[in-house]
A = this chain, B = another copy of it.
Amino acid sequence: MTFDATEALRVALAPNAIGVIGASENPHKIGGRPIAYLSRFGFKGRIVPVNPARTEVQGLPCFRSLADAPEVPDMVIVAVPGELAVEAVGECARLGVKVCIIMSSGFGEVHEAGKVQERAMRDMALRAGMRLFGPNSQGLANFGNGTVASFSTMFTEVAPQDGPLGIISQSGAMSVIPYGLLRQRGLGVRHSHATGNDCDVTVCELAAVVAEDPHLRLLMLYLEGIPDPWNLARAARTARERNLPIVVLKAGRTPAGQVAASSHTGSLASEDKVVDAFLEEHGIFRAQSMADMIATAPLYLQGWRPRGRRLVALSNSGAVCVLAADAATQENMPLDELQPNTQTELRGILPGFATVRNPVDITAALLTNSSLFSKVLPALARDPAADAFMVGIAVAGAGYDVDVFARDSAVFAQQTGKPLVVAAPQESVALKFREHGLVTYATEGEAIGALGRYLTHAQRMEHATRRQPRIPGPPAPPRDGEMLDEARSLALLARHGLPVVAHRLCRDAADVRAAWLQLGARRVVVKGCTPDASHKTELGLVHVGVADAEGAQAASEAIAKAAFLGGVRLNGFIVAEMVQSGLELMIGARIDPVFGPVLLVGAGGKYVEAMPDMALLMAPCSAADVAAALERLRIAPLLHGTRGEPPLDVAAFCAAAVAVGDAVSNPSLNLSQVDVNPVFVRRLGEGCTAVDAVVFQTTPHGTDPIPTPQEILTEEPAC
């Protein structure tokens, strides 16, 4: 591209002039509402209406065509249908417009021909150095400077107010629903952009520019697909550099949701866990629902710098204390006991029957002594057990000095700089706290839930900032690959650092006898080596516990027969040492069509599909990443030794997983999928051994040599 593709997006957020092709006198029409909004919400630039049928629109001079206008606006809204829209975009390109918002619908969202038109418009625009939003875009709205180039009715229904929040979505509805819900809570929203069909500029590319806005404190994205993860990664990097959190509501979490997303925006579905791993890697928090996203938003505006998750809860109701303890535990927020001197201090303040542990139950004595509250807070502020606070005012009214509680809480929050949330079911009470700048929820569960999400996000951002995740490139085109047989798979992975079981590849029964002798007088496994099946046990291709040369020969004969009956080719027989000690884990890797290489680690063995226990990471990754992922597994306790067993060699397994992740991430290897299962992990210091593996490779005889059947692996892994 010969122009600064990003600069045009900055223009879109603050153009000097906006043309409207298809300008309408009627402010309820698509071509009329943006003009009305631009005037109403204080757009400082020029508005250039274009409509061959009119000389004036909404009090502004109107032009026959854009070419007739006295200036070429840097941004143009296209609000004419079908072919007229395509022509309008062409004219914009010719005249040197920098960015077009195509509001017209009836393109890619309707039929395949529309997609073709979209691509043609995009290619033409890019050649001319122009960027496109839409088609089918509800428009952009920047309330910071009045650039409300949108036809959403929501800005009429709910009055805007500039503020530190931003929302970007393809869907018009999801650009304004959060706007409406946030405004209902009295929060100011600056950006509310709906990008439509994203034929050129995508939500994520726009996000990377919106994230530059120094006024923003929280950026929210609604996504159904993430076709350009590199743009989202760039947005996240820009945001992290200025400590701007990004929350994503990514729909299509479930198969049913993915089907619906595919008919709505044509989104390509990645496995949902890949999306999770990608977002986490880049410090982006994924909201589980719109309600969660909205409930958490105000916490980001408080300017806190959270240090940890330990909660101190405080209420005038013992029951609220109990529910708060439940909620905190569920949110993984420990309720550490207060220091002895804090407890002593509290005992001096509170009545004898109050609870001075944590949660702190001030009891109904607060009714007769409103000063209890302001006395308790400073004592808590000094306690090192507190990273964050929940204040629950269960019931208050006549007799309670709620204004004092609210003021004292606000002062306390400001002085400590620590997160503080308020639970107050009575709206009159909540209002007082909000007037003092605090964030309130109706119940302790909602308050602690929101706080927990906020704290998790803070931890993730910090982690991502430390790690500096790389910006991925566009993924390689999807590739299926050819399945390598077990011997080739093991050989390839062994060459790239995976410790594999000592084994011999044999041509015939005589070879098998010889291999048995060569491997020593141990028990062995005899397997058929086939490129046609990955589940070999069901086909009768695996004989375990073979204890002598005769047995080995007999096994190979049985396997040959089974292969014939099962209709699979045999590339020979594998005679492998029988690994009998260690915990069975698995390592998997593949190329996600959208996000690129991913690594899977988890419990191994026969029931990996029936009872999955896996964690997914973006690849390549570090041993520390793998170790952290292992801690999320159900089998984690077994890795550290349980029931008197010694801890396992987790480091060796992590190194093996990293090797597989590196291999699948290495473009010269052309791997599309790797399944290593089981990997036996032995006790600390004794390493691990992969016993079976399947590799899919697009060019099996390409850059990496594959051993011929005669070749024998001579390395003897530590056993």
Tell me the A residues contacting B by CB distance below 8 Å. Answer: 28, 105-106, 109-111, 152-154, 156-158, 169, 171-174, 176-177, 180-181, 184, 222, 224, 249, 251-257, 259-261, 263-265, 288-292, 316-330, 335, 352-353, 355, 357, 359, 361, 364, 394-399, 425-428, 442-446, 535, 537-538, 606-607, 609-611, 634-635, 637-638, 642-644
Contacts and interface: CB of A to CB of B under 8 A. Distances in A.
Question: What is the oligomeric copy number?
Answer: 2
Contacts of A158: 426
A355 B537 contact: no
Contacts of A335: 256
Given A154-B395, A157-B428, 7 more contacts: A177-B395, A249-B323, A254-B325, A291-B446, A606-B643, A609-B642, A609-B643
User: Which 7 A-B pairs give the minimum distances between C-beta atoms?
Assistant: A264-B318, A254-B329, A257-B326, A173-B317, A289-B445, A171-B319, A173-B394
Given A157-B426, A177-B425, A610-B638, A251 B399 contact: no
Contact of A355 (B169, B263, B397): B263
Nearest to A252: B322
Contacts of A330: 253-254
A209 B171 CA distance: 52
Contact of A289 (B105, B171, B443): B443
A254 to B, nearest CB: 4
A399 B427 CA distance: 33
Nearest to A105: B364
Contacts of A173: 316-320, 394-395
A260 B359 contact: yes
Nearest to A429: B157
Contacts of A353: 106, 109-111
A325 B326 CA distance: 30
A222 B317 CA distance: 13
A33 to B, nearest CB: 10
A395 B606 CA distance: 50
Nearest to A355: B263
A259 B254 CA distance: 37
B326 A397 contact: no
A442 B260 contact: no
Given A290-B445, A397-B153, A643-B535, A256 B325 contact: yes
Contacts of A364: 105, 172
A330 B272 CA distance: 13
Given A28-B399, A607-B642, A610-B637, A251 B326 contact: yes
A252 B172 CA distance: 43
A335 B254 CA distance: 12
A425 B325 contact: no
A633 to B, nearest CB: 10
A272 to B, nearest CB: 10
